[in-house]
Every structure is written in structure tokens, then in C-alpha cells.
A and B are shown apart, each in its own frame.
Chain A
């Protein structure tokens, strides 16, 4: 049992998972605050098309994903800076991308022997087959994305919580929104590479949503989100590698533990609010005044 942990496969998976979890949970904080969950979902499907396309053309999957998702992020960011659940535009981009992905997978399946596993790997992730070269590329991309996020985080937070006064103060709100979409595109690509297109959203949304339910200040919410993301990924990996039961697939254990984190935080947040803790889960009030006092 423990022998598996000593293997390279485990450590490669752990490294990839750690990078993805950190990028996803920090970027995810803004995804939740800005109500961009649907845009995140659209980007995962766009990454699915990108990775299926690069599988067909024989590229490194990460390159294809980044090419697709970055260009889509530019489009989404420019087209509508209010990409949220209602947005039909996001939905149409998502549907076109999924269609392309389905096309690529079915073309790919035509000349590879294992018809369905090819598609399934793209959809549910292949964290166990991540190679060291890809991990290095992931590290570079995640570093760049997080550095960019750090650079714009204060104005972005302001523009997120109070777009009207941010605009009045002369902040480039549209530019911020486009840059955030680009950062999001990179984070989504990391998640898709590790746990697959269908489950990537769980890393991106569940840990920060859980953190926002219990933490009050932006800094603590972001820190809690990152910690939760790491726990979820490591817990999922360990549950799939050790344990007496039949090993569940990693995507399942990661997405389940992420959802559990959210459900628990939901219950906790609810109890706290009932107890009269006031704005238990909304850091927006405090930060709004903070931002204005700046």
C-alpha cells in the first residue's frame, strides 16, 4: 500500500495537484466574489476542446488548452464584462467549444485504438500521467498567473465589490475584467490538466466558496481557500492511493471532498448567522469601506 506513495507517479501527481490547487483556490476567490462560476465552467469546456485538439494534432495538451482558453477569455472579457449565470453569450461560447471538443474526440477516436478511454481521460483528467516537463510548465504558468493576480488584486477587489465607484474613481474596470479573465483562463487550464474538464470547476469554486462562508476578511478568506484547496487535493490523492478499500478514481475523491468542504462550511455559516454573528459570510461590507477609505 505505502509502496505506491514512494513511487514517482504519486509525487508527480502531488506536485501537479498542489500547483493546480493553489492557483485555483486563489483565483477562485475572485471567481466566487465576481459570480463568474459560469464563465469558469465555460472555460473548462474550452480547455476540453483545446486539449482534445492538441491530442488530435499531437501537441502538448497544456499548449492547446492555453491557446484556446486565453483567446476565449479575451473574447468573453471583451464581449461582456458581466459574464455570469444568466449570460447567454457565455453559454453559446461554451456550447460551441463543447461541440468542437466532441468533434475532436470523435475524430481522434477514429484513428486510435482505444475509442472511449481517450475521451474519458480528457474529460476526467489524467493526473497520474502528468510528466515532469508538464509540471515545470505548469509551475511557470501558475507563477505568472498568481503574480499578475497579486499585482491587480487591490484594484480588482475594489472593482469587484463596488464597480460604480471604481469606475467613478477612474479605474480601468473593463481592462481589469479582461486581465482577470486571462488569469482565470490559466488557472482553469491547470485544473483541467489535473482533474479533467468535467471536474475542474470543483477545485475552482468549492474551496473559495466554502472559505467565503466562514471567513470575514478578504485576506483570511483567500488564505483559508488556499489551505482548503490543498487539503482537498492532498486528501483526495491520499484517499485514492492508500486505504483498505478499492481505490476510488482521483477525480471522484477530489471533487467529493471539495463539495463536502462547501457543504460543511454552508452549515457552519448558517449556524453562525443564526447565532447573530451578523454578516457571517459576507466580507463585502468590511472590504467595501476599506476600499473606499483607501
Chain B
């Protein structure tokens, strides 16, 4: 295991993986709490279309990925207030973008290899330059998140009160999704467009079940994400043929399942209002439109 650390690609992969895992933990907490799971799945898929377009035009795929992901994030943030409407718009936009991505792929004569890496992720192709860029971009994303942290938390926990206080709820939502798009674009290098979602949602979902305090949940999610990524990269490197993204998703699922079944989120007596609605409560009543069947 330690021998592997001598390879520069392993060091680069581990550093990049650690950076994105911590970032994903912080972003993921809000994604889960704001019930943006579907959006977090759609944004990287849309980003994939951008990356395919970038490959076609000879730009670095990361830039195309980020451009499309950002556009999707702003669009989703501005469009949807009601959950049902938002789901439909997200679904249509995502399949539209994926179709476009498929067209780009078919126009690109070189077809698969590079695109394959974008979809499935790889730990091999990360250079020192990538590590630096990832670090800087992650610092920017973290800084933005800290800058909007308090209003964002307020909007997440109690959107009505936040709106009543005159907070620009829609702008904050779009801003947060833009930061998420940046984080997703960075994480996609290691995890691939298909499974970035796992890193965003897996650790945060588990953390949300373990604690109700936002700060603690973010910390737990970041630590869990770090552990998943290290284990995933380690297992992938040792086995030689298991993809990192599969390992991370398997670990995330294996940890989440028992926690989901046994851990009841602790409700602190005085602070019931601190619980983000619908995020972690298994017995929260189905809210809104009344079209759920529970």
C-alpha cells in the first residue's frame, strides 16, 4: 500500500481526491438539506455534454464541463420553486443536454477514450497542474460557500421566514447551485460524471442521519467523504481493475444502509426548528402538493 504512494499519479489522485471530498462534504450537506438530490445528479450529466462538446472543439474538457454545469445550476436555481415542477424541468433539461452530448460524441472522430474517462472517472490522468488548479478552484468555492453560509443556512432551514425577512432566496439558491456546479466539476475528474453524485450525496446523507447540528453534519460528511475516497483509491490501486468510482459508491452505500435502518436522527428538545425539513426525518409528514402517496 505504502509503495503505491511513490507513484506520482497516486499522490496526485489522493491529494485531488482529498480536496474534493472535503468540499463535497460541505456542499453535500446543503444539497441533501435543500432536497436538491435530483439536481445534483442532473448537473454532472449536463456537464458531461459540455465536456463532450469541448473535446470536439479541442478545448480542455473541464472547461466545457464547468460551463454547462454552471448554466444548468443557474437555470435550475431560478426555475424551480415547487418540487414537482422542478423535477420535470430538471429531467427534460438533463435528457436534452445528454442527447446533445451524444451528438457531440458521434461527431467526434476519436470517439471513446477521452470521453470514457469523463464519464467513468480516472485516477491515472491527474497531473500536478491539475492538482494546483483543483486546489485553487476548491479554495474559491469554499470561500464563496463561507461568504453565503449564514443566509444560506437560514434559507435552507426556514425558507418562508427567510423570504419574509427580505432575503433574496432565489438569488442565494442560484448562487449556491453555482458553487455546487464548481465543486461537481472538480470532483468529476476523479469520480467521473456518472458518479460525482455519490460523493456529493453519500457522505452527507449518512451524516444527516447521525447528527442534526449543521456544523457537525458538515464536518462528519467531510470526514466520511475523505475516508471513502482514500479507501476507494486505495482499493482501486491495489486491485488494479476496480474503478475508484465503483469503490466509493459501494462504500457509501454499505455505510449508509445500516445507518438509515438503525440510526434515528436525534431530535434536540429545544431546537426542533433547526432541523432542515424533510432532510433526515424518516417520519416527517409528506409536505406540499399532496400528490405523494404516503
Binding site for B on A (CB under 8 A): 32-35, 37-38, 40-41, 80-82, 84-92, 94-96, 98-103, 105-107, 110, 115-117, 119-120, 123-124, 159-164, 173-174, 176-177, 198-199, 201-202, 205-206, 209, 248-249, 251-256, 258-259, 262-263, 284
Q: Which residues of B contact A41 (CB under 8 A)?
A: 38, 41, 91
Q: Mark B35-60, 1 if CB is under 8 A from A, else 0.
A: 11111110001000000000000000
Max chain B Cβ within 10 angstroms of own Cβ: one of A160, A205, A252: A252
Report whether over half of chain B's contact residues are helix, strand or loop; otherwise say mixed: helix
Q: How far is the CB of A264 from chain B (nearest CB, A)?
A: 12
Docked-complex contact B250 and A96, CB < 8 angstroms: yes
Max chain B Cβ within 10 angstroms of own Cβ: one of A95, A99, A116, A263: A95
Q: Which residues of B contact A91 (CB under 8 A)?
A: 37-38, 40-41, 197, 201, 205
Total count of chain B residues near the partner, CB < 8 A:
67
Max chain A Cβ within 10 angstroms of own Cβ: one of B102, B111, B290: B102
Docked-complex contact A82 and B286, CB < 8 angstroms: yes
The stretch that binds A, out of B2-10, B12-20, B112-120, B131-139, is B112-120
Q: Mark B59-97, 1 if CB is under 8 A from A, else 0.
A: 000000000000000000000000110111011111110
Contact of A124 with B201 at beta-carbon distance under 8 Å, contacts A91-B37, A91-B41 already known: no
Q: Which residues of A contact B224 (CB under 8 A)?
A: none
Docked-complex contact B95 and A95, CB < 8 angstroms: no
Docked-complex contact A252 and B112, CB < 8 angstroms: no
Binding site for A on B (CB under 8 A): 32, 35-41, 45, 83-84, 86-88, 90-96, 98-100, 102-103, 105-106, 111-113, 115-116, 119-120, 192, 194-195, 197-198, 201-202, 205, 208, 241-243, 245-250, 252-253, 256-257, 260, 278-279, 286, 289-294
Q: Which residue of B lies closest to A36 (CB)?
A: B87
Q: How far is the CB of A209 from chain B (nearest CB, A)?
A: 5
Contact of A103 with B246 at beta-carbon distance under 8 Å, contacts A80-B294, A116-B111, A116-B115 already known: yes
Docked-complex contact B245 and A99, CB < 8 angstroms: yes
Q: Which residue of A lies closest to B45 (CB)?
A: A198
Q: Which residues of B contact A263 (CB under 8 A)?
A: 92
3 shortest A-B CB distances, which residue pairs?
Answer: A116-B112, A99-B249, A86-B35
Docked-complex contact A88 and B99, CB < 8 angstroms: no
Q: Which residues of B contact A201 (CB under 8 A)?
A: 91, 94-95
Q: How far is the CB of A118 from chain B (nearest CB, A)?
A: 10
Q: Which residues of B contact A87 (CB under 8 A)?
A: 37
CA–CA, A82 and B119, complex, Å? 30
Q: How far is the CB of A265 from chain B (nearest CB, A)?
A: 10
Contact for B241 among A35, A95, A106, A162, CB less than 8 A:
A106
Q: Which residues of A contact B98 (CB under 8 A)?
A: 198-199, 255
Q: Which residues of B contact A81 (CB under 8 A)?
A: 292-294
Q: How far is the CB of B102 from chain A (nearest CB, A)?
A: 5
Q: Which residues of B contact A162 (CB under 8 A)?
A: 290
Q: Which residues of B contact A40 (CB under 8 A)?
A: 91
Q: How far is the CB of A182 from chain B (nearest CB, A)?
A: 14
Q: Which residue of B lies closest to A156 (CB)?
A: B293
Contact of A37 with B198 at beta-carbon distance under 8 Å, contacts A202-B99, A255-B99 already known: no
Q: Which residues of A contact B116 (CB under 8 A)?
A: 115-116, 119-120
CA–CA, A85 and B106, complex, Å? 31
CA–CA, A37 and B113, complex, Å? 31
CA–CA, A38 and B286, complex, Å? 16
Q: Which residues of B contact A256 (CB under 8 A)?
A: 96, 99-100
Contact for B253 among A95, A107, A161, A206, CB less than 8 A:
A95
Docked-complex contact B292 and A163, CB < 8 angstroms: yes
Can you list 10 A-B pairs with a CB-CB distance of less than 8 A? Answer: A35-B292, A81-B293, A81-B294, A106-B243, A116-B111, A119-B119, A199-B99, A201-B91, A249-B105, A249-B106
CA–CA, A103 and B201, complex, Å? 20
Docked-complex contact B202 and A92, CB < 8 angstroms: yes
Q: Which residues of A contact B106 (CB under 8 A)?
A: 248-249, 252
Docked-complex contact B95 and A163, CB < 8 angstroms: no
Q: Which residues of B contact A88 (CB under 8 A)?
A: 32, 37, 201, 205, 208, 279
Q: Which residue of A lies closest to B284 (CB)?
A: A82
CA–CA, A85 and B115, complex, Å? 28
Q: How far is the CB of A273 from chain B (nearest CB, A)?
A: 13
Q: Which residue of A lies closest to B250 (CB)?
A: A99
Q: How far is the CB of A73 from chain B (nearest CB, A)?
A: 14
Q: Which residues of B contact A177 (CB under 8 A)?
A: 293
Q: How far is the CB of A279 from chain B (nearest CB, A)?
A: 14
CA–CA, A35 and B35, complex, Å? 14
Q: Which residue of A lies closest to B208 (CB)?
A: A88
